[in-house]
Structure 1
Amino acid sequence: MSEPLRRRDPGPRRAVPSERLDQPLARRRTLVPQTRMDPEVFGEFAERFARFMGTARFLVWMTVFVLVWIGWNVLAPDRLTFDPYAFIFLTLMLSLQASYAAPLILLAQNRQDDRDKVQMGQDRARDERNLADTEFLTREVAALRLALREVATRDFVRSELRSLLDEMDEREEERERRRREGSAEDPAAGGDAGAPDRPDEA
């Protein structure tokens, strides 16, 4: 009979470190030391470089450099030339410049996009504040208009005073007229009362 198969003892298990979110990861050691560079400083350099490449001065200096390079290697004696026709070294330099210029320009564009986003957020917040202020002022003006409907205005007070003065003048004229009529009737009444009574004729 065959012997039953025995399971091998795997031995003590190694503790597998579990990744926990509440603990920072241990810093890994690398053969090449990591260089720390301030992204703000490098971004400003990229923006200055991209801004300079987009100017007419850069185009003029680049054109002068290429013409001098080609003219020297074509017209100078053979013993003084360093990049003969085909200008392989010049082509290599221009390719190297383009390979560095493209990432720098992209970095400058990304920084400009970030600034545009921040500016748009600030403009949106400013517009919201202006809209809220405008709505508040509109409500205040509407409330003032409703309140002014119940308050006497200057023109209304003037018209009321003018009508009151006219009414007082009319009453004064009426009193004066009545006084004159009364003074005119008093002498006539006094003359009739002072005349002697005549005897009745038989």
Structure 2
Amino acid sequence: MKQSPFPPHYRHEHGPIKNVNEVIKERLTIGQKAADWIAAKVGSWHFIIGQSLLLTLWALLNVTAWVRHWDPYPFILMNLVLSLQAAYTAPMIMMSQNRKADHDRIEAHVDYEVNLKAETEIQVILENLEAQNTVIAEIHKMLEELRNKRAGET
């Protein structure tokens, strides 16, 4: 292993920074993936438009009697279906949101750790620069003394 030319005070070592998204994605359970999928689908315009078309078709078919009335006005069966849909999708959406809030907390913690590492590295760089400034000032002083000494000899 190559030896660093800098004293231990100027060296800094830390572990790799992890991608929070990859770590969390690896740990997802099937239920969490399903909740995210449902939340993504239900919270989209495709779902809203599709459901609106389906409900309009349901109402038209039952009001106009083009097909046998399976759910006459006031559409009690349709209300039951919508209630069941809401009863199952709302908790899944909440599970997905809660998990995403946990994800945000973990991401904030990782950001904090990155900031601490950056602060440590910046401090090491500043100390190194200060040491270099001190050495440069000493060299400058020595050169001035040499120049003055030579000027005095001539």
Q: Same fold (TM over 0.5)?
A: yes
**Superposed displacement of residue 80, structure 1:** 1.0
Q: Does the alignment pair 1:59 with 2:39?
A: no
Quote the RMSD (CA, aligned, Å): 2.1
Uncovered stretches (5+) of structure 1, i.e. residues with no partner: 1-38, 169-202
Q: Does the alignment pair 1:97 with 2:85?
A: yes
Q: Does the alignment pair 1:49 with 2:38?
A: yes
CA separation in 2, counterparts of 1:66 and 1:140? 71
Aligned equivalent of 2:104: 116
Q: Does the alignment pair 1:75 with 2:71?
A: no
**Superposed displacement of residue 152, structure 1:** 3.7
- The amino acid of 2:69's aligned partner reads T
Aligned residue for 2:72, secondary structure, equals coil
Aligned residue for 1:81, secondary structure, equals coil
- Which of the numbers 131, 137, 142 marks the counterpart of 2:119? 131
- Which of the numbers 100, 106, 110 marks the counterpart of 2:94? 106
How many residue pairs match? The answer is 121
TM-score (norm. length: structure 1) = 0.55
**Superposed displacement of residue 109, structure 1:** 0.8
Q: For residues 142-197 of structure 1, give each alpha carbon's deviation from its aligned partner in whole angstroms, at most 9, with x where no partner exists.
A: 111011001149xx68xx5xx97xx97xxxxxxxxxxxxxxxxxxxxxxxxxxxxx
Map 1:176-195 onto structure 2 (within 5 A). Answer: none
Percent of residue pairs bearing the same amino acid type: 26
CA separation in 1, counterparts of 2:107 and 2:69? 54
Aligned equivalent of 1:140: 128
Q: Which has the higher contact order (CA 8 A, sep 6+)?
A: 2
Q: For residues 52-94 of structure 1, give each alpha carbon's deviation from its aligned partner in whole angstroms, at most 9, with x where no partner exists.
A: 11111001101000000000001125x7110001000000000
CA separation in 1, counterparts of 2:106 and 2:60? 49
Aligned residue for 2:29, secondary structure, equals helix
TM-score (norm. length: structure 2) = 0.72
CA separation in 2, counterparts of 1:44 and 1:102? 15
- The amino acid of 1:91's aligned partner reads N
- The amino acid of 1:62's aligned partner reads Q
- Which of the numbers 80, 86, 108 marks the counterpart of 2:74? 86
CA separation in 2, counterparts of 1:117 and 1:129? 19
Aligned equivalent of 1:191: none
Q: Which one has the bigger helix percentage?
A: 2
CA separation in 2, counterparts of 1:58 and 1:96? 16
CA separation in 2, counterparts of 1:66 and 1:113? 33
CA separation in 1, counterparts of 2:99 and 2:140? 62
